Chains A and B, each alone.
Chain A
């Protein structure tokens, strides 16, 4: 199943609509909670994966966050957008899970991947690029990873990301800038090779 609601569109969903869904979900309406989960499953899983790397860990963290959000729905302020409120819970869940991991393997970016190396055949190009980007993301500080994913992938504004990460808006801009510089360089190398 594809994302039922692309995040860029999700960000534009009428706030009142989401506030109504939240009220219904908090009152025990499972269908309303289901709509919220479907709407935000994609972005929650991507953000968690940006933090954790492993898709399995990311799904566990995203699930924990969504269930935690269900419990805390009565704390949500319906005058504010729902997405950043939820993603803050997701970011915290992913960060907590990463901290709990007893052993965290930080593998440096493969020299062959950063500096070119043998060109992969065409059938694996996209997969290899994805692997490169994930590795490059993994080398970035956690907050920088989330900032660039929320901005360039999910389409959130600097102000919204600041609310998600609990940092000043200017810091978000800086984090996005530094992350982009690193990732764009990697993409440029990739294009030159291909």
Chain B
């Protein structure tokens, strides 16, 4: 057990936190919080006993849950305390150290599929939890940083305005622009690949474009295509065009010379070589471009809305609510955008897995 000492330190911190005064009333003021804290430290200490085997995870999970509940109960009863509650923060520090030790243990376990998601899931929950405790405990003004609970409340109650925003920005502008830009990039790449002269002219220029802040064309597109989603789709199309073009071109030349010579010796036509050899070997590159584009698309659509939009859209909502200091709504919009971006990325990654199962990076 190499992890004994940090775990012992964590338990000592938690127990110490329960003894040190918290505000004026202290832990005594909230009986349930004190009970949870005590039970949690005892469960954590129980984890150190030898011979627990599989039950260790259940016990440590209980310790974490109870430990997380204690500060929440305490803050609901009396908070905010701020710096006058050293006991509370000692307890939280101990809890986080304990969690870290559990993460170390989890990282050692062989995990695939769902099991591999436990560690990052725990980490994410811990960050949200710390955020909540800190914001409530130090009474951070909502204008600076709302707590996750407030953001969740907005997400639950204001869907009537957030859903049309999402539809405007994501389902209309991003999807249309993404499809147009990516397919155009793909087609131009095929054309440039067919004509080497064109390729030698286009490729260096497109490489240069990667150093250029293309999002800057947003005001021009808004002037040309109007305030509605068409202008945003145009920006997204231009932004996603170049990564697709460059990556597809790189992918098409990734099939090695031996394989191409083989196709040549079969007297395969250009089209046959393309479909049977070069496009399949370009697939990892094409999916790479699609993944890059999935995050780029959302960002550029939202930025483009800063330059003018009808009274809906995620970018519009952000700039409007910032001006009214409704920061909780802004964070709710960000949460939606992040979720949408992750889902888009995840979908593309899943399709990639299904299409390029033969690639070395997916072989076991």
Task: Indicate whether A and B interact.
Answer: no
Measured CB to CB, the residues of A under 8 A from B are: none
